[in-house]
Amino acid sequence: MEDIEQIDKIELVYLKKEDHLEIVRLMENEYRHLDDSTWTQEEFYSLIEKFPEGQVGIKINDELAGFALSIIVDYNKFDDTHSYKEITGNYSFNTHDINGNMLYGVDIFINKKFRGLRLGRRLYEFRKELCEEKNLKGIIFGGRIPNYAKYANEISPKEYIQKVKSREIYDPVLNFQLSNDFYVKRVIKNYLEGDIESKEYACLLRWDNIYYTKATTKPMQEKLVIRLGLIQWQVRPYKNIDEVLEQAEYFVKSVSSYRSDFALFPEFFNAPLMAKYNHLSEADAIRKLAEYTPQFKDAFSALAISYNINIITGSMPELVDGILQNVGFLCKRDGTIERYAKIHVTPDEEKVWGLQGSNEIKTFDTDCGKIGILICYDSEFPELSRLLANDGMNILFVPFLTDTQNGYSRVRVCAQARAVENECYVAIAGCVGNLPKVTNMDIQYAQSAVFTPCDFAFPSNGIKAESTPNTEMILIADVDLELLKELHNIGSVNNLKDRRTDIYDVIRKN
């Protein structure tokens, strides 16, 4: 940066036709090696008239310090090997389409006098905000590689770009664009006629708008801020299933009255119904409990429709063809029902009850995006949640039942780890209280909670909300899916993006 007088004012302004002469003066000095080094009055006026909000400048002490020019194009009409003349309609800008899907960067320029003030970053940030405001897919443009001529006899453009990325070669244009979150899509040959510094090569650079939403004719958009209702269930004696369902409806009604999108019940919340079978062996008692499962499924589906809420039914035993599994149901408010089952049964569940693990791993599509459900012990196996994250899961629900505090701590700590490593929200809900008349289910410990990743947009400790330990209550918390999109792309760290899948991976076998 050259020595300049004290800066009194920096402002971002929309360019006007009267700025043309100053732009010509700046560009002629910078691009004197090009045959066509600047914009004619006709070309510049055309840009201003066609898309005034896309032409912006930075003024320092009322002197033009830089500018950025852009148009909107329907990129479906072009391919990735286009030339600069083609994309600009031979500089007429007749390719500008207000109904297009991409913001195309026509030009960006910083006055030598003011370089070093990071003014280019301000112009790129303006373009990104404009792209988001217009709901465009992203920004794309051909970026010059002005130092390539020095290496053209030794390496290809592809090798040159790789060396710039690895900091072996410095390129003032490409280094700057890469540092502003643009990525190289491909190399374009014969892009800008007369650009001898770049040997007429260019990098096709792109930035994706993570907030872009495709236009839809549906009456309702997919929700972005999701309200979770967690039910910390007190186990107590019940005479029959009707009393259990009465209590369940009370909680569904309560969380629904707060306009919750999901109600999460704990694992084996209906275990008190085994009290009447306590004279039987533990294995026979839980098989008696399994006889109630079809009735619970139908009742919860009716509640989901009636209270306009998606219900995750915790879990309950199910006996099918002699195989006993720990299962639950996602009862959606549109009336559909989907089943999930515990994959890893605990040693106690296998030994005492004869439970068997499921082989099915899946995510669930809901009106609030993709979710995953893992029952208690399953949350302690990171491979499962990673597979669900690979499928696009945003929220992981974990219904659990733990008898001791150390058992609870395993579930809690692992749930928090799943939120960080998979960049998702995790909601856990458990049972509290005692069941002295139910063998193998006599004591419970729980503190339900909602966990988040740990980054600036989230609580620093990764805890969105948590209940009072060992007390019957509901917990209501909102989670924002837009924050996850930001985290995936511009977080302090990128756990999902930075996985070294070149040396390891997690895969399904079934």
CA distances from residue 354 to 318, 325, 343 in whole angstroms, order as listed: 12, 9, 14
User: What span, in angstroms and rounded, lies between the C-alpha atoms of 46 and 58?
Assistant: 20
CA dist 509 and 38 (Å) reads 60
Per the DSSP assignment, residues forming a β-bridge with 141 are 205
Q: Give the pLDDT confidence score for residue 437 in this predicted structure.
A: 79
Distance from the Cα of residue 297 to its chain's centroid:
31
d(CA 205, CA 173): 11
* Structure confidence at residue 251 (pLDDT): 97
Closest CA relative to residue 315, chosen from 351, 294, 340, 278: 340
Specify burial of residue 9 (Cβ count, 10 A radius: 0-12, 13-18, 19+). exposed
3-state helix, strand, coil in the chain (%, to 5): 35, 25, 40
Report in angstroms the alpha-carbon separations of 299 from 54, 232, 397: 56, 20, 21
* 335: Cβ contacts below 8 Å, ≥ 6 apart: 301, 304, 305
What's the pLDDT at 91?
92
Q: What is the pLDDT of residue 32?
A: 60
Structure tokens at 425: 């929200």
This prediction's pTM: 0.79
What are the C-alpha distances in Å from 316 to residues 25, 398, 465, 497, 498?
Answer: 77, 14, 26, 37, 38
| β-strands 262-264, 225-234 pairing | parallel
**Residue 509 token pair:** 């076998």
As annotated, the residues of the chain forming the CATH 3.60.110.10 domain(s) are: 225-490
Residue 306: how many other CB atoms lie within 10 Å: 13
User: Using CA atoms, how far apart are residues 166 and 173, in angstroms rounded to an integer?
Assistant: 15
What is the pairing mode between strands 323-331 and 337-341? Answer: antiparallel
Phi, psi dihedral angles at 431 (to 5 degrees): -95, 150
User: Range(s) for CATH 3.40.630.30 in the chain?
Assistant: 10-208
Residue 154, SS3?
A: coil
pLDDT at 490: 85
Task: Name the H helices within 326-423.
Answer: 347-348, 382-390, 405-421
CB atoms within 10 A of CB 351: 12
3-state secondary structure of 366: strand
pLDDT of 36 reads: 60
Select from 3.60.110.10, 3.10.20.30, 3.30.750.24, 3.30.450.20 the CATH code of 225-490: 3.60.110.10
What SS3 state is found at 173? helix
Task: State the burial class of residue 166 (Cβ atoms within 10 Å of its Cβ: 0-12, 13-18, 19+).
Answer: exposed
Report CA 277 to chain centroid distance, whole Å: 47
Token code pair at residue 461: 């400790």
Active-site positions read: 267, 342, 376
Q: How many CB atoms lie within 10 A of CB 496?
A: 16
pLDDT, residue 243, reads: 96
- Report how far apart the first and last C-alpha atoms of the chain are (Å, whole number): 61
CA distance 55 to 176: 20
Instruction: Report d(CA 396, CA 379) in Å as an integer.
Output: 9
The predicted pLDDT at position 214 comes to 80
Name the DSSP class of 352. I
DSSP string for residues in 291-336: TTHHHHHHHHHHHHHHTT-EEE--BEEEEETTEEEEEEEEE-TTS-
Give how far Cα 4 sits from Cα of 1, 12, 165, Å.
8, 19, 32
pLDDT, mean of each 10-residue run, the chain (510 residues): 67 94 84 68 94 94 92 95 94 94 94 85 92 95 92 94 93 90 93 90 94 71 87 93 96 94 97 90 94 97 94 96 96 95 96 95 95 98 97 97 94 98 97 84 90 96 96 96 91 91 89
- CA torsion sign for 474, 287, 353, 397 is negative
CATH domain 10-208 topology: Aminopeptidase (3.40.630)
